[in-house]
Structure formats: structure tokens, C-alpha cells
Structure 1
Amino acid sequence: MTRLHKSLLLFAIALGLFTLGRALLYVLYPLQFAQLGFGQVLAAFGNGLRFDGAVIARVFAIPFLLMNLPLRWFDRRGWFDPLAWLAYALTLGMVLLLVGDVFYFEQVRRHVSYELLLLRDDWGFMLHYAFGVYWWALLLFALFALALGWLWQRVLRGELRTMRWAALQYVALFLALAIVGRGGVGGKVIEIIDAYDNGDSAYGHLSLNGVFTTMVFSLNLDPVDHHFYPQEQAVAIMGEQQAIIDPAYPMLQRYDVEPTGHNLVFVLLESWNFDYVDSFSGGSIGATPNFDALARDGLKFSRFYAAGQRSIEGVQATLTGIPALKGLPRIDAGIGVSNFTRLGAMAERHGYHTVFVQSSDRDSFKIQGVARSAGFKEFYGKEDIPLLLNYPDPTLATFGWDYDMLMFLKGKLDQAGKPFLAYAFTGTTHTPYPELDGHVIRTPHGLVDENGYINALHYSDWSVGEFINAARQQPWFANTIFIFTADHATHFQQGGLRQLFHTPFLVYAPGIVPAGTNHNVSSQLDVMPTIIDLLGFPDEFAALGQSVFRKTQGQAFVTEGGQSIALITDRAHLKHNLHERLETAGEGLSEAGFMQLERQLLARDQLSYELLRDNRWAR
């Protein structure tokens, strides 16, 4: 074979591996693609070849062009083979990302996108996680690498025939790589949005692959345009739902309140699903008896939604009222350069003691810096928290132990000596789920399966119960408001778009906040305004959300992996990718109603993006 023939065969092998990855995705998650007919599935596989070919062509472009330089001197294996083995290494890297994408799809029901770009400080954890939990997958991958290497060698062995019309073939190769790499001859370069050109999310997910989506995000090949209306019109649209006190700073709000002097403890619960908390779902899993008891005496919110799908997005939303937006860094990666309401600093100005504690490492997700930037005076992480229980293996809790963290926090609150605002972030319910003591084991334990999750959830619930029981013995308890919600839902909670974000939200403050159930739609973006409202701070603040006590019907703005946004109401929801609608659902809502919902969604996205970009989010 000539150099070009061998190159094309290597390209075909890579393309076949991508198709196998798509088939694996389809077989492993049939419920996600059940709505597609047989013809649509075939069409998605065919459409997927465009995205597969595009990313392979871009990755292989340089080595292939070097491998096929149109001079006879290069018709030798000493030149061709090393470059071909470079293509082999690149193929292994792409396959590794494909495999990771398949595992990741189970967690969030979409392809990996920006996540790899945010792991620069977490590679140690990722390696520990991979070798500790998915060692078997790494072993299989090593065997696959050997098999692929054998196949690669089969292609490379043998003499290279001289290329005829080498210059012409080289030009043809260059043009072919360019055309395939851009996704076609005419029009613009292929983008993520092109996978959803028929408006079907499942079809788009099956067409795409994680290598392509990661490349697009990392190289910013998909320009972000958040401008849909003249800014004055966008402000007016948002003003239909909430009062605007300053059109130049549309996110600014102020409540006519007086300081209450209450203490407040906010607890962000790692991966607590709405459907797994019986007092909220009406189910009978039995994993959260302590939380269910609190819910009977607290104010439950039945239609509360996380603002995103990752922990740091939950921290950002609850702490600042700012959503995670496509094209903007998160709070741990640069959004802090813009002015935003610093909740801890506000509380300090009102004479409060502020403390932030998380069960995981201090620098996990750069939370230590996040807490400092929000104005919290004290910060503690796993390194600061002594273990109080004799765990089977204390090192297995990668993200720390909830009981020990909450008891550590209780000790700090005992010493406050004045009103306090505390923010706590649990972690034991994050995979891998550690081995636990017998008294909290409910099902046969697994590191990453649903049984392991239920056991970890039961332990976390027990920890919350012990924390509240200990707090009840302290003089500060009667004047304290406790707020509990989750950072995000997990993949064990099945269903449509709402279930992706549906989480419990509980305000527990006997004697301060009456017990009951609130059915208004609200979200993590409402948490910071709610805290300000409950503490009676009359200060100016900026947030996309509002206090849950001031909403009559409500809407929830959510973001899905930096790829799409959605607005959820009590009657309907609408999902959008900044170019077109991806999904709509509603009870008796007309097209005019969906158009109004779309206007509200896009206006919120536009204003959030432009105000943060222009540093006009807060004064």
C-alpha cells in the first residue's frame, strides 16, 4: 500500500471506533433514546459520522500531512511509521475521552463539554478516583490499547509503494481533511448546534461525541452570542416579573426590612435527590428519617430546582445569585473579577460572625478562595476537621465525612458569641460512596451504584439529625434558621428536564418560620436573596433570583452543562441553546405562551451575560 492508502485505513479505523462508542452509548442508556424511531436512530448514526470525521480530521491533520509529503524521499518507513504511531497515540487519547464520555453521560445525560477545562487543579483527585473506582475500566482500556496497537502494526508492516501523482494526491488529501474537518463544503464550520437541527435533544445527543464537544469548548469554535434584544428591551422584559430599581444595574434589589438578629445556617447537601427524600417525594425509600422529621416541623418547597448540574455551579448560585453561563468563567475561575454581592461581607457589616466549612479538601473547587471572595471570615476544610467516629476506612471518603464536619461546625458556632451566618457543604454522598458502619447500612454496598448512594444518603441524613439534636442543646438554637438544599441531583433520579434539577429545599426554624409546604417554583438563584430577607438586611444586593418568601408563582432559570439553558414554571418549561428551542412542555400552554416564556428566558440570559461582562452586575 502507498502512504496515502495506509493513512486512509488508519482514519477508517478511528472512525469505526467512534461509531462503536456511539453504539455503546445507545445500548447502555436506552431510556435516553427511547423516543427515537429506528429510522431516526440510523439517521443519528449517519449524522454522527460528520462530527466524528470532523474531530478526527482536525486531530490527524498535521501528522497525516507530514506522513504524505509529496516527495519520493518520504516513501520510507523510517519517516512514515513514527508519525503513524503518533496518530495511534492520538487515537488512544480520543478513545479514552470517548469512554469517559460514556460514563459521564450516565451522570448528567449529556456529553462532556467544558469539564476537562476545569480540572487543571484536580488531576490528582481524578487519577486517584480512576485507579480506585474504575481500575477495571483502566485494565480493559490497557488491553484495548494492546489490541489496537496490534491492528495498527498490521497496517504499517510491509513495504511502502511509491505514490504516483504524489503532488496531486497530496492536494486531494489536504482538501479532504479540510472539508471533513469543517463538516462539509458549503456553509459554516460544523458546530454543536448542528446536531440539534431537527429540534430533538435525544437525536442531537446520539449524533455528538464527547471528543467533538470538548474540542469545540476548548477552542471556542462555537461563538457565544447572548444578544437577543436591545438591552433596554431586555430590561423591560425582565421587569415584567420583578421590580427594577436601577435600569443601569437591572439585577439590583433591595428589601424594605429591618435586621432580625437571627442566626442562619445554610447547608448545601451533596447530591440529595428530591425523589429519594420521602417527606418531599411521598415515597417510601426510608433513607432520610431524620430529615423527614425536620420537614414535618419546617417549611418545605415542593418545586425547587438546582441552577446547574455540578457542585461548583450550586455553590455559585446559592452564594451569589449568579447562574453559570456559556462563555463566562465560573466563580472558581474568574467571575470574581466582576462586582457581585458578597454575602459574608454584608453579614459582617451587620455585626455577624461568618464561617464557611466544607467536608472536602480546602482547595477543592477553589472553595477556599470562593468563600474568601464572598466575605466569609473563617473557612475550614477536611484538613481542619478531626474525625470523631471510628470509620471502617477513613480514607475512603474522598470528599470527607458529613458527621464530623457538621459537628466541627457546631463547635465553631458555640464559640461565636454573636449572631452568625454559616455556610456548610457536605460531601459523603459524592461518588465513590465510602464503606460505612453497620448502623447506617440499608442495602448491599457499592462504590458507585444506587445501593451505595442510598447507604451514603442514610449516613448523611443521620449526620444531619445528630447535628440538629446537638444544636438543640445550645442557647443559640431557638434563634437560628436552618436552610437545607442540594447542590444538584444525581443520575439515579430518572425523568425529564425537571427531574434533572429537582432537589429538596427546607427552611427549618420552629418558632420563627411556620411549618407548611410552598408550591411556588424557586431555585438556587433565590437562596442568597432569601437569606438576606430572613436576616432583615436592608442592603442593596444583586441576583437573578428573588426571596422565596416574595415569589407568588415563580420561575427557575437553569443551565445544562454550558450547552443549553431552560426556564421552568409551574405549568411548563422551555429549553434553548441560544440559537433555537430544543424542548418545550406544558399543560395547556399556547404558542403565544411559549413565546413569552422564551422571551423571559433569553432576556435573563442576555442580561446576566452582558452585565457580568461589562461589570454592571452590582455596584
Structure 2
Amino acid sequence: MPRLQYAQLRYLSIILLVWLAVFFLTRSVLLISHLSDAGITPANLLGLYGVGLVYDLSFLLYAAAPMTFYLLLCPAWLWQRRWHQRLLLGVAAVSIFVMLFTAVAEWLFWDEFGVRFNFIAVDYLVYSKEVVDNILESYPIYPLLALLAALAIGLTFALRRVLRAALQAPRLPFKRAVVGVGMLAVLLALCLSLVGQDAPRGLGGNTYQRELASNGPYQFFAAFRNNELDYRQFYATLPDQAVASLLREEVAEPNARFSGRDPQDIRRVIDNPGKPKPLNVVLVTIESLSAKYLGSFGDTRALTPNLDELRKHSLVFTHFYATGTRTDRGLEAITLSMPPTPGRSIVKRIGREAGYASLGQQLGAKGYDSVFIYGGRGYFDNMNAFFGGNGYRIVDQSSVADADMSFQNAWGMADEDLYRQALKVADADNADGKRFFLQLMTTSNHRPYTYPDGRIDIKSGDGREGAVKYTDYAIGQFLAEARKKPWFDDTLFVFVADHTAGSAGREDLPVANYHIPLFIYSPKHVKPVEYADVASQIDVAPTLMGLLNLDYVSTFFGRNVLREDHAPGRALLGNYQYLGLFDGHDLAILSPRQGMRRHEDALGRSREARVGNDDPLMRRDIAYYQGASHAFGKRLIAWHPDEQTDQRMSLR
């Protein structure tokens, strides 16, 4: 058995031990930052660090494999060169710097999202310009990098004698080195098959414990590899006929006629009663606006005076929930009325993001000008491709002159500039005699929380409170300008969040952390009232079509919740792995490896129990997600303009 007396093994072990020490310190610091939330006991503390060590070693096995192969097979004549040994000292310094940088990045990511690296971190790598600009504007990044470099150099200097002694030790004989290469290959194969991203990473059902027991870099690469999850392979299923029956019960409305040949196809003709109302629609999706920030939902900091006043004059949904934790999930749910299927959202499934029966397509078929207006650059999160391929024309930061933007940061133009562009589009459409549907996406309520000076009494860049208050200010200014327009009286204004400011909690799907506002405002057409039943972002599109009294062929998984004959409320919510259905009291959760759990009193004590697919709430949960995954895979949600002929009505 090779011992650590050999140069290659001694050198490699020093670097790996330093990395393990950094992993241990990172896990400990993250644990201390959420000690009360993690619910740690002496027993599960041991399990947390034990399972964590397995993940740490698994990552190091992958990360160190190229270097290990090189060290074992490096010829003796090259190994003995002085410049080569200096190079290996430099490699040690660089590896320590990379590990320290990763630890700091993990802390910043954890501070914002409450989880280890995941799909979000992968997306941030893809959309690097916005992310780098955001980091530069949010943190003293250059001094921080200099400090990390100094620490890496200092540690390498402190270890120089140990490293030099290791490099000058006898080399592992070539035959043993070849055996070592084979053993490493076997270990890699075993790790790949036995240690997975969705494996149990801790004890109990506490999300913080599982996240702490994982390894951030390991999770990053696992998320990069598994950016889509096949529903049937990973999740609990029901017979197709059962799914078809349950789904049609969920989405059925009076006089609805299902027309799909596939039993799981929910394509149906919706007959909304009453005379059509040819109203304009301005749908504002607000970045990261948790309901808890609004004074009318209990906040005492007076951050949202305009929205609090608007609530008094609007149709308000008091128990309304986001489907996911990212902007793309909110846009997917609102635009396509789709549950959050596992893996990437449809918005970002490049090459398969277009051609669906979206809200923009539906209103476009009725004569509306459907426009997506975004405060940033629409290539981020693949938004331009998604909206452009699903019936919208695009107005984003790249199509707006610098002179028309009073302020820009890493994510785009200030909200007031976005609203100014929306007013221009509305004015132009109104002058041409067109009805318009404007779907806006704001950016200001996002780190680095910067906005134009002099608007509110909180300094720009001071944190989330200021960003929320500026977001509210911009909405107030927008409505004040809109009220002066000739098209105002015949326009529905919809204000809804894309997701909350933070969804992390002790549980996999903490329902309270998905709570967002939804206001529908049109003084001449919508009575101020509170809708208290549970509803979801997937209900926005069919409810708007109902408010307009428009008949159409629907592929929406949501429903018009304002019909007196609607079924009891429910909310679909999830993240890229966990898929939930909340009925107002209990929550059913689906997880990979056919996991099924039920949380009773989900907004209270949230008592968890294992259930089977005979549980009624779980059956509904499975039906939604199995059906949605099937519909996406088979393109049952595709836009068929020929089907709209009988429903078409020009509103010009």
C-alpha cells in the first residue's frame, strides 16, 4: 500500500488537508450564522459534520483528479527540474486562493439565499455581466480579492518548508503510480454512482441542516450537470388515466369543452359569461416584493405608502403565492399558467422556450398589441427569446436611448425609467387605435439596491428597505402619470411580485416565504374588495381573461378564481427539486427518488408525515406536476392559432 513517504502523495495531501480545513471552517461559520434556525442537537451535529465530510471528500476526489493523474504520471526528469518544483509551489498558492475565494462566495450566496450553491449560482455564471456588475456595485470586491491573495500567499509561505520537503521526497515508483491511477478511476466511478445531489445530506427534515451538511462546490457542479430532471425517472407517479381525470377536475369550468386527443391534454374551450370588455391591460411584475414588506400586510416601517393606498381601491388577493424563487419562475407561471416543473423553467430551456399558448398570444389573437417591457437587458434569463417566441414584441434596456434613462445599475434602468417607457408605448398604441397588453418586469428592488438620489428619504445603496421604498415611490409616480392619460379609464392595472425576497427556511418549501401581493386596479371596472381564498401565480392569466369576459381555447393549468362556481383555492409552489401543492392548510411535497411528504398546518406547526400516493392531497400534487411535465414534453401547451378562429373578436 503506498504510504505518504512518497513525494506526490505528500504534496497532494498537504493541499487537500488545507481544503478540508477551509470546508470545515465554512460549514462552521454558516452554522453559527443560522444556529437557532438549524435546530442543532449534539446527535445531529455529529451527523451534520459526518455527512458533510463525505460530500467534502467527494468534491475533492473530483477536483483533485486531474492534478493527481498528472502527479502520478509525471516523468522523473521533469519532476526534478527546479522550475517545475517552483511551479508546483505556485499551484499550491493558487489552489489555496481559489478555495478561500470559494468560501467567501459561499458566505455571500448563503447570506442572500440561505442555501449552498445551486441552480441560481449556475445561472449567475451563465449571465456573468449582470452578476459581475452587481458584485462590483454591492461589495468592495478589489480590496477583498487583494486580501484573499495576501492570505493565500501567506499560507503558502507558512507551508513552504513542508511543501519543499514533500517535493524532495522519493517519488512513487512508476508501477505503483499506474496502480494508483487505476484505483483513482475506480473511486471516481463509485463516487459518481453512490453520492448524488439529491441524496440525504443531513438528519431530520430541517432544510438548514441538509444544506449545511452539503458541500457548496459539489452542489454547484451537480446543479450544472442536472439542470433538468425527468419527472417520471425521479418523482412519484400515478397511472396516466388517473392523472388525466384529476387534472380535468382541477381545471374544469362550467361549459368548458376539452378537445385534446391525449387524455392528459387539458386544452379546452373557455366560455366566459357576459359581454367582452375591451380593456387595456398593464401587468407589472415587481422584483422580489414579499408581501411582508407592505404596511397593509403588517409591516410597520412605512415603506409602501403608495401600495398601501392602492390596496384600498383595488381587488386584493390576500393569500396569494409565488410558484418559485426566481424571476424566470414567476414569469413562466404568469405568462404560461404552468406549475414549476422540476429543473429549469421553460423560460430558460433554450431551444424549447417558444411556441406556447401564452397570455400574450391569447390577447394578441383578440387584437391586442402584446409587449414585454423589461428594465434590464432581455438576454438575461433568456427573456427576449422566451417572450419574443411567445407572442410579444420586446422593449428592454438595449432598445432605450441613454438620454431616456435617469439612472442605471448592474441590473438595468431605474423603475421610473421603465414606467416612462411603458407610458410611451401605451400612448403610441392608443394614438393608433390599438388595445394594448403591456407586461412589465422591474429591476430596482434587487441588490445592490441603488436608485436615483432625491426620490426617497433612504440613501441609495443602503439596503433592501430603501429599494422597497423606491419601488413603491416609482409605482406611485407611474399611476399619477397614467391617470392623466386618455386611456386610463379603460385600463386594468395589475401589480404582482415575481417572487419573494427570500424563500429559505427550516423546511424545504416554507409556505409563508412564498407569500406575495396581487392588486388589480381599475376604478371604473373593478370594485375594491379582498379575495381571501388561496391563489397562485398560475391563476393570473385565466383570471384576467375572465375579467375581460373573453372566450378562448386554453392550455392554462390555472383557473379564473373570481367565478362564483370556482373550486376551493390551492397554490402550486416549488424550487428546482421540491414540488408542492398547498390547499390553504396542508402542504403536499414531492421530492426526487419518489419522495412524498405531507405537512399538516403548513403555516403553523407544520407537522411532517410520510404519505403514499393514495393520500388525496398528494394525488392532486402528483397530477399537477406529472401532467405539466407530460404537457411540456409532448407540446400539449403549444399555440394553435387556427383553434382561436371561432373565439376571435377584434377589439380595435
One fold, TM greater than 0.5? yes
Residues 164 and 366 of structure 1: CA distance in aligned 2, closer, same or farther (over 3 Å): closer
Paired residue type of 2:287: E
Alignment partner, residue 248 of structure 2: 239
- Could you give the per-residue CA deviations for residues 122-168 of structure 1, whole angstroms, max 9, x where no partner exists? 22222222233222543433333333443564442135222466644
Alignment RMSD, CA only?
A: 3.2
Indicate how the Cα distance of structure 1 residues 480 and 593 shifts in structure 2: closer, same or farther if over 3 A, else same.
Answer: farther
Q: Does residue 271 of the first structure (1) align with residue 288 of the second (2)?
A: yes
- Per-residue CA deviation, residues 451-489 of structure 1 (Å, 9 max, x unaligned), is 522222212212111211221222221221111111111
Distance 1:101 1:120, change over 3 A: closer
Counterpart CA distance in 2 for 1:196 and 1:226 is 25
1:100 to 84, 87, 105: 105
Q: Deviations over 1:10-67 (max 9, x none)?
A: 212211211111112112233431x222321232011101011101101111211221
- Compute the displacement of 1:576 (Å): 3.1
Q: Decide which of 602, 607, 616 is 2:627's aligned counterpart.
A: 607
- Kindly indicate whether residue 428 of structure 2 is the aligned counterpart of residue 412 of structure 1: no
1:37 aligns with 2:37: no
Q: Is the contact made by 2:287 and 2:444 (CA closer than 8 Å) also made in structure 1?
A: yes
Structure 1 match to 2:22: 17
Q: Give me the whole-angstrom Cα distance separating, in 2, the residues matched to 1:40 and 1:565.
A: 26
Question: Amino acid of the residue matched to residue 401 of structure 1?
Answer: A
Q: Which residue of 2 aligns with 1:67?
A: 71
- Note the C-alpha offset of 1:512: 1.6
CA contact (8 A) 1:313 1:324 kept: yes
After TM superposition, list the pairs within 5 Å mapping 1:466-485 onto structure 2. 466-485=477-496
1:134-213 to structure 2, matched below 5 A, reads: 134=139, 135=141, 136-151=143-158, 153-158=160-165, 159-163=167-171, 167-168=175-176, 171=179, 174-175=182-183, 178-179=186-187, 182-183=190-191, 188-195=194-201, 198-213=204-219
**Partner of 1:352 in structure 2?**
368
After superposition, residues 209-224 of structure 1 pair within 5 angstroms as 209-220=215-226, 224=230
Partner Cα separation in structure 2 for residue 493 and residue 285 of structure 1: 23
Provide the aligned length of Structure 1 versus Structure 2.
606
> Secondary structure at the residue paired with 1:341?
coil
CA contact (8 A) 2:112 2:502 kept: yes
Amino acid at match of 2:145: L
2:53 corresponds in structure 1 to 49
Provide closer, same or farther for how the CA distance between residues 488 and 148 of structure 1 changes in structure 2, counting only shifts above 3 A: farther
Structure 2: tracts of 5 or more residues without a match? 641-652
- Distance in 1 between the 2:225 and 2:506 partners? 33
- Equivalent-residue separation in structure 2 for 1:37 and 1:482 (angstroms): 50
- Aligned: 1:314 with 2:330: yes
- Specify whether residues 403 and 435 from structure 1 end up closer, same or farther in structure 2 by C-alpha distance, changes over 3 A only: closer
Q: Does the 8 Å contact 1:199/1:583 carry over to 2?
A: no
Deviation, 1:182, is: 4.0
TM-superposed CA distance for 1:360, in Å, is: 1.6
> Greater CA deviation, 525-534 or 491-500?
491-500
After superposition, the Cα gap between the structure-2 partners of 1:518 and 1:362, relative to the gap in structure 1 and judged at 3 Å, is: same
Secondary structure of 1:36's aligned partner: coil
Pick closer, same or farther for the CA change 1:355–1:56 going to 2, 3 Å: same
What is the rounded CA distance, in whole Å, between the counterparts of 2:549 and 2:242 in structure 1? 32
Name whichever of 476-485 and 100-109 sits farther off: 100-109
Give the secondary-structure state (helix, strand or coil) at the position aligned to 1:456. helix
Q: Which runs of 5+ in 1 are unaligned?
A: none
Q: Structure 2 counterpart of 1:571, which letter?
A: H
Moved more, 281-290 or 123-132: 123-132
CA spacing shift, 1:235–1:164, aligned 2, 3 Å: same
Work out the CA distance in 1 between the residues paired with 2:404 and 2:45.
Answer: 53
- Cα offset for 1:573? 1.8
Paired AA for residue 565 in structure 1: L
Query: Aligned match of 1:543 in 556, 560, 566?
Result: 556
CA shift in 2, pair 1:154/1:436, >3 Å: farther
Tell me the distance in 1 between the aligned counterparts of 2:546 and 2:78.
73
Is 1:255 equivalent to 2:266 in the alignment? no
Give, in angstroms, the shift of residue 515 of structure 1.
1.2
SS at match of 1:488: coil
Q: Aligned partner of 2:168: which letter?
A: L
CA distance in 2, matches of 1:608, 1:238: 10
Query: Does 2:12 correspond to 1:7?
Result: yes
Work out the CA distance in 2 between the residues paired with 1:283 and 1:164.
66
2:198 counterpart letter in structure 1: I
Q: TM-score, normalised by structure 1?
A: 0.88
Q: Structure 2: how far apart are the matches of 1:97 and 1:582?
A: 34
Which deviates more, 372-381 or 167-176? 167-176
Alignment of 1:566-585 (within 5 A): 566-579=580-593, 580-581=595-596, 584-585=599-600
Amino acid across the alignment from 1:540: V
Q: Any conservation in 1 of the 2:280–2:435 contact (CA below 8 Å)?
A: yes
Tell me the distance in 1 between the aligned counterparts of 2:435 and 2:629: 35
- 8 Å contact 1:273–1:493 — kept in the other structure? no
**Is the contact made by 2:48 and 2:203 (CA closer than 8 Å) also made in structure 1?**
no
| Alpha-carbon shift at residue 522 of structure 1 (Å) | 1.4
Structure 1 residue 236, shift from structure 2 partner: 2.5
SS of 1:504 mapped into structure 2: strand
* Contact 2:230/2:342 (8 A) holds in 1: yes
Distance 1:81 1:422 in 2: 61
* Contact 1:298–1:513 under 8 Å retained in 2: yes
- Which residue is equivalent to 1:465? 476
- What are the equivalent positions in structure 2 for 1:124-139 lying under 5 Å apart? 124-134=129-139, 135=141, 136-139=143-146
1:312 aligns to what SS in structure 2?
helix
Identical aligned residues as a percent: 21
1:525 to 538, 554, 571: 538
Aligned to 2:601: 586
Aligned residues of 2:596 and 2:610 also touching (Cα < 8 A): no
Distance 1:195 1:495 in 2: 14
Alpha-carbon distance in 2 for matches of 1:222, 1:249 = 22
SS for the counterpart of 2:318 is strand
CA contact (8 A) 1:272 1:457 kept: yes
CA apart distance, 1:289: 0.8
How far apart in 2 are the matches of 1:415 and 1:457? 30
Conserved? CA contact 1:191–1:221, under 8 Å? no
Alpha-carbon offset, residue 267 of structure 1: 0.3
Q: Which amino acid aligns with 1:157?
A: R
The CA deviation string for residues 336-378 of structure 1, in whole angstroms up to 9 with x for no partner, is 4564213323222211122221222243333233221121235
CA distance in 1 between partners of 2:288 and 2:172 (Å): 61
- Provide the rounded CA distance (Å) in 2 between the counterparts of 1:401 and 1:541: 35
- Mapped to 2, the partners of 1:440 and 1:167 lie a distance apart of 72
SS at 1:59 equivalent: helix
Q: Deviations over 1:402-444 (max 9, x none)?
A: 11211221122122123211111111111111154345124xx
8 Å contact from structure 1 (residues 525, 544) kept in 2 = yes
1:230 alignment partner AA: P
Shift of residue 296, structure 1, vs aligned partner: 0.3
